[in-house]
Chain A
Amino acid sequence: MFSYFIRRLLGLLPVLFGVSLLVFTIPRVIGSDPARIMLGERASPESYQRLRLELGLDVPYFLNFKEARTNGVAGLFDAQYPNFLRHALQGDLGKSIFSRIPVVTSLTHFFPATFELTMVAMFIAVVLGVPLGILAALNRGTVIDTTLMFVALAGVSFPVFWLGIIMIYVFAVGLGWLPPSGRLSPTLIFHGTTGFYVLDAILQGRWDVLWNAIRHLILPGIALGTIPLAIIVRMTRSSMLEVLGQDYIRTARAKGVEARSVINKHALRNALLPVVTVIGLSFGQLLSGAILTETVFAWPGIGRFVYDAISARDYPIIQGGVLFVATMFVIVNMVVDLSYAVIDPRIQYT
């Protein structure tokens, strides 16, 4: 198991190298650049060229042959990509071109927000999704099943920005139960240390902040949770149905094992494997940020941060942000793979 883990960890390196190469290349080959955007609606060709120079956008991408002539190998690698890679390996992802804020500093602000929201959304999706999926499977073909499947279909189909705005109007503006958007009430004065407000509030014993933060998490959590919830319900149902048709279930039933025990011990455990995969994938996806949910609920998450940077061609943020998100995604997938062994003893990693 341990050696497998190490091998997987090493396998991360080529993946991340590939990601870094793609994320470096794509924004540069699709045309335009931060210099042109920075200059706004009107710009003279001279100031455009000069700003490119100023921002280092004229430096060669991969190999700098001109520098190589004077500085040898060191000069050859004095190009945009090798420099980015060298700094990234030292934990420095550069600074935003527009705001001059270090990308790492920004990520430590935006990632905790995304992580908290993802946890809530996944909690809702799993806690509701698995039991509802089992319920649908056990009542296959009945009204319960049809209704659940219809609701699940609706869950995947509703556009999040629409659902979000409806929820804001019903629960925040109309009923006044929950705040419309943001992470904390702006009038609350609070300084966290970790950036995870729920955790910070508990650490500092600020129960007012804890309550406030939780209230802010509910609406976006539900909005973000609907799609994984719908997927988990459907996956659990179909997986359960498949398992329930197996010989060993019939045997167990024939032996007179109590129905509840058949479902929980014999069926569910075996049906969970594909469900866990889906949960893992959804979790990874949500961690990389949900642009629409974050936009509707003004949630300062990583998705919108990177998305805005893409529109503005803020290369350092795009590179650093996507690399970070990709790392998260790969790690989550690895954890999912490892969890298979825990759920299904037949799977062994050596």
Chain B
Amino acid sequence: MKRLAMFVAVGLLALSALASAQTLVYGESGLPVTLDLPQDGNSLTVLYQVAQPLVGFKPGSSELMPLLATSWEANADATQWTFHLREGVSFTDGTPFNAEAVKFNFDRWNNRDNPYAFASQKDMAAWTYIFGAFHGEDGYLLEKVDVLDANTVRFDLTSPVGFFPALVASSYFGIHSPTAIKAAGVDYGTPGVGAVGTGPFKFQEWVEGDHVTLVRNDNYWGDKAKVERIVFRGIESPATRLAELEAGTLDIAVNLSPDDLKAVEGNADLKRATASANLSIGYVGFHQANKPFDDVRVRQAVALAIDQKTIVDSFWSGLGQPAAEFIPPGLIGRAGYEPYAYDPAKAKELLKEAGYPNGFKTEFWYMPVSRPYFPSPKDIAEAVTGYLAQVGIQAELRTEDWGIYLKDYDEGKFPMYMLGWSADYADPNNFIFTFFSPTEIKNGFGWTGSNADEVVKLLGDARQASSETERVTYYHQADKLIYDNVPAMPMVYPTTLNATRANIDGFLPNPLGTTSVQLNEVTKN
């Protein structure tokens, strides 16, 4: 009897060890905000495991691959895109995944008056970033979605877009179960309801402020998840995330501070998990409505006065590279420029030519929040003003609440400022057009005149180009104008530091970060 009890006890111990080995604990900077049309990385990472988009990414890369759509093709001028859907797939609530479901989701996002477009999503910024505007509004892209048959949908666009599948692949656009959305109404995506999709994991529970648990979807159409459960924890402080990883209470920790690279690499229990490159950029912008930044020589002088390489090396600890153009590495269309070389003497000369032999006074606005493209904005801003002082430019450091900062930025109140961008989809259009669209070129930089008009025209032509070669030619021409006119000084292409315990395999962040990485291939040994 005693022996039996011992046997049972040992068995139970082994079982509990097994159970915990199958739970993956994932540390992010916060828990999701919502699982219905979120706009932040923490929510998107969780949602990507549950609701999959039509198009995905090859592991560790930004190259597209079939996910819920098995193939796609465009008509001759790329205004109609037809997607063939994976057959025999069901949402985890049993609802069949088909063309109707795809149409339901896109209609709900594209049409502000759709009954299932809930208040805060009616102006979903991500939709306008990616699809221009909502249906019927100025600059909208998606005309309609048609169900051709049970497993075929067609997207009709208002203008040709050769890279449309990249838009659809964005992690925002996971397909949800229409039944679940209709049943939950405005509560869909909140902790009590969660989300229902076709992904390798399904929603189990969300304890507000504490954790979100997903469990393996045993009916998943693809490679079933190797771990049984994932628990997502929101740990705001990057130092605590690293400590948790070191203590072994987290298996994966994302968005660590670049300063911690040494700590990660020097620890045999940990593994660095960074992407080959991240599609992200941090820059110093000038608004030309503020004198003397209307003078191109002054803008060039600023770019020459700042030792960009030293700043990038010191604040990104080897996890960033100095930037020269607005299309980050890893995308097509880059012209291959070098950053303006550090040359204070030449900067002074240009200032003298522009009529400022003794420099001038201005304001330099830095962000009150930290982003991967500027992990410690204030320290970086101080370094920048230090360099500027050496050529006589007295830049007063200013900041304000983030919401007000964004609003003042919109209104062109900052002579000189810091801002950045991380990709929504893997295409140069998401960068260069984001900064130099007709509205942004005015709002962000106050850049007008023939050069600015030319850039806008070239980028418009690029969007409609019939071939990639043609598109790249337009980008190169636009890039030259931007490089010479310095409407802003690109500062850095950062790489985000993520790490796992040494026993974790198969966690491969891609250039879009960790928000569009499926965790079904991750193993815990």
Q: List chain A positions with a Cβ less than 8 A from chain B.
A: 30-48, 50-51, 54-55, 97-101, 105-106, 109-110, 113, 161, 165, 168-169, 172-173, 176, 179-187, 295-298, 300-301, 304-305, 311-313
Contact = CB atoms under 8 A, between A and B. Distances in A.
Given A101-B208, A187-B20, A305-B209, A297 B240 contact: yes
A34 B402 CA distance: 11
A-B residue pairs, 10 tightest by C-beta:
A300-B209, A32-B403, A51-B123, A186-B231, A298-B235, A32-B404, A109-B208, A37-B403, A39-B125, A31-B404
Given A101-B208, A187-B20, A187-B231, A43 B406 contact: yes
A41 B128 contact: no
Given A100-B187, A106-B208, A55 B120 contact: yes
A347 B237 CA distance: 47
A183 B210 contact: yes
Contact of A31 (B34, B120, B128, B401): B401
28 contacts: A30-B404, A31-B403, A32-B404, A33-B403, A35-B123, A41-B419, A41-B421, A42-B129, A42-B440, A43-B406, A51-B123, A54-B119, A98-B34, A99-B34, A100-B189, A100-B190, A101-B190, A113-B209, A161-B237, A165-B243, A172-B243, A179-B247, A180-B249, A187-B25, A297-B240, A298-B236, A311-B402, A313-B403
B33 interface: yes
B407 A36 contact: yes
A239 to B, nearest CB: 37
Contacts of A36: 403, 406-407
Contacts of B210: 109, 182-184, 300
A211 B138 CA distance: 60
Contacts of A40: 39, 125, 129, 406
B63 interface: no
A97 B120 contact: yes
B239 interface: yes
A99 B421 contact: no
A295 B209 contact: no
Q: Chain B at the A interface: mostly helix, strand, loop or mixed?
A: mixed
Contacts of B419: 41
Contacts, number: 157
Name which of B118, B137, B369, B401 has the most chain A CB atoms within 10 A of its CB: B401
A313 B403 CA distance: 8
A152 B310 CA distance: 43
A39 B405 CA distance: 13
A185 B249 CA distance: 8
B125 A43 contact: yes
B233 A298 contact: yes
A44 B439 contact: yes
A151 B108 CA distance: 61
B496 interface: no
A58 to B, nearest CB: 13
Name which of A42, A46, A181 has the most chain B CB atoms within 10 A of its CB: A42
A191 to B, nearest CB: 8
Contacts of A34: 403
A300 B186 contact: no
B240 A105 contact: no
B119 A180 contact: no
B209 A109 contact: yes
Contact of A55 (B119, B191, B243): B119
Given A173-B243, A181-B243, A39 B123 contact: yes
B87 interface: no
Interface string B85-129: 000000000000000000000000000000000111011010011
Given A298-B235, A298-B237, A38 B122 contact: no
Contact of A47 (B123, B231, B233): B123
A180 B234 contact: no
Interface in B21-58: 23, 25, 33-34, 39
A304 B23 contact: no
Contacts of B404: 30-32
Nearest to B232: A186
B123 A180 contact: no
Given A31-B401, A297-B240, A298-B236, 15 more contacts: A36-B403, A38-B125, A40-B406, A44-B439, A54-B120, A54-B122, A54-B123, A100-B190, A110-B208, A173-B246, A180-B240, A181-B235, A187-B231, A295-B240, A298-B235
A110 B209 contact: yes
Nearest to A47: B123
A101 B291 CA distance: 46
Contact of A187 (B23, B207, B407, B421): B23
B403 A304 contact: no
A37 B405 CA distance: 10
B297 interface: no
B410 interface: yes
B81 to A, nearest CB: 25
B485 interface: no
A180 B125 contact: no
B186 A31 contact: no
B39 A38 contact: yes
B407 A45 contact: no
Contact of B410 (A43, A97, A109, A186): A43
Interface in B203-239: 207-211, 231, 233-237, 239
B233 A182 contact: yes
B523 interface: no
Interface in B396-441: 401-404, 406-407, 410, 419-421, 434, 439-440
A36 to B, nearest CB: 5
Name which of A38, A46, A181, A296 has the most chain B CB atoms within 10 A of its CB: A181
Nearest to A165: B239
A233 B414 CA distance: 50
A109 B211 CA distance: 12
A98 B120 contact: yes
B287 to A, nearest CB: 15
Contacts of A45: 410
Nearest to B35: A99
B244 interface: yes
A239 B499 CA distance: 53
Contacts of A300: 208-210
Contacts of A46: 137-138
Nearest to A56: B119
B236 to A, nearest CB: 5
A113 B235 CA distance: 15
Contact of B208 (A105, A168, A169): A105
Contacts of A186: 23, 25, 211, 231, 233, 249
A109 B207 contact: yes
Contacts of A30: 401, 404
